[in-house]
Structure formats: structure tokens, C-alpha cells
Structure 1
Amino acid sequence: MMSAIASTSDSPTADIARQIDRILNTEIEPVIQRYFETLNAGNFQATAALFAPNGALHPPFENLVIGEEAIATYLNQEAQGIKLYPRCITNRTAIENDLVQVTVSGHVKTAWFSVNVAWKFVLNPAQEIVYVAIELLATLQELANLRR
């Protein structure tokens, strides 16, 4: 698989693209790779288009964001400048109704903080994101130190 955002420069975006390619170039669903690529590129409309029509994004400490338009709006408001660094796939499980759950652990960096996270994706057979939850993997002290 080739990264859509990979380049020959040594820019931070190119470094992230190489890391995504290295971690996710296993037997991983392309939609998950595109999620990381488009979000890191700041192409939030393309990220939102990866979701099923009633797909849902569940950010930490937030209510569900449901549907492509709402997800794109949310990401435009809340994800500017965010960089996702997936490290490894920690779980891949078939669940009911031909859905697949894939958990990816990694790191998120913003202008204000960085934190370890897990992304829990649920994908349908059409390779659309039905649901993704972002879980912070931080101690209470680390959470208390997060400042916005």
C-alpha cells in the first residue's frame, strides 16, 4: 500500500506518513489508513466521507457526533493542527452483523498537549466506518496536566 500523503521531503507530515505506512501496512483495512492520512493532512471532509451514512465519531469527553456533515463540522472546529501517530494494531475482532472491530494504539499531538490514545474502529462490509471511539490512555495526573 502506498501512502497518499507520503513525500520525499523530511517534513513532519512526511514522517507521519512513513510511520503510518510502516505500522499499518499489514493486513489492515485501507479505510483505517485513509482515516489517519486524511485527518493528519487536515482534509476533514475526506475523513468524514469515510464514515457510513449514520456513522459516529466518539471523541473523548464529548457526545457522539453522527453523520458525515456533523463529523466534518466537528473536525473542522476541534482537530485543526492535530497529528495522529498510530503505533500498532492491538486487536482485530469479527463482531455481529459482519462488522469488524479494529483497535489501534498510538499517540496524539496538538499545540497544547500530547497523549497516548486508542482508536476503536467498527467497520462494515462496505469498508465504511460505522463507529470510532477515541480513548485517552492517560493517568489521572496526566489528564489533570492537560491544558487547552
Structure 2
Amino acid sequence: MTTASSSVGSGPAHADFTVRRATADDIPEIVAMLADDPLGAHRESPDDLAPYRAAMERIVADANQHLVVAVQDGRTVGTLHLTVIPGLSRRGAARSLIEAVRVHRDVRGTGLGTRLTEWAIAESRRLNCALVQLTSDATRVDAHRFYERLGFEASHLGFKMAL
């Protein structure tokens, strides 16, 4: 994975940011961003980081997992999880899956989410993925418009089963 800098505009809220692999030290900030919305508030546990630390160990051990943070002025302001999935379909092509895109509430609306998602698309190309896909909860209508503006098309109906 490469570290990248992107410019998202001018001024302090639009300064350059760096994308880098997340480390265990980033877990509190990542979990806080995951919990900072109506859905995450009910499914995340920022007061108990033990399960997140165990998950981070599994993520770090798997070369197909790219959990990254966006850092701006020394502060974690965004996160994204990119998974490369090898497959047989599409002539043995790999695909990538973008999950858990979050931007800190202080920098929402600055273009950071766009630039972070563009980074994931570029990284997917660099990793020779033939397709990049993502899912978004049916209630996240604003997120759907955001992804459509970036060129994603709603193409499938998804199903989940809690275990």
C-alpha cells in the first residue's frame, strides 16, 4: 500500500491529508468515528476497545486487508477499510470492497470523503482489482447520492444475516 497526500482545497479545514495504514494506536479515533452516527451509535462500543484490538490483529495479519486513516495536521480525520477479494468469476479477477468510510464530524463537507474514496479506487486499480464495490445501509440516502456522484451504480440487492 502506498501513502498518499491529497489536497482537498484551501484553508485550514481543507489542508492536505495523508492516507496511511491504521495501527493499534488509531483504534480509539476510528471507533469514535464509527460510533458517531445513528447506526453506529447502537452497534459500536467505544468504552470497550478489547474486541477492536483483537480485530486489528486479524486485519494486520491479512495482506488483503487495508484499514487506513486520513491524517490532517497530525489528527486522524477519516477512515476507510478496503478489502481485496480474490475470485474465480470475471476470469479470475480480484475485486475490492470499500467498507466503513467515515469522516470526522469537524471536517465533513470539505471534500475529504470524496478524496478518501478516490484514494480507495486508485488503490484498487494499483492492486489489479477489476471491480470495486461497496454496500451502504438502505437508510443512508445521503451516502447513496454521494457514491452515485463518484460513479458508483446501484446494481444489486443485498442481504445480511446476523449470526
TM-score by length of 2: 0.33
Larger Rg: 2
Superposition TM-score, scaled by structure 1 size? 0.35
> Which has more helix, going by share of residues?
2
Point out the structure with the larger strand share: 1
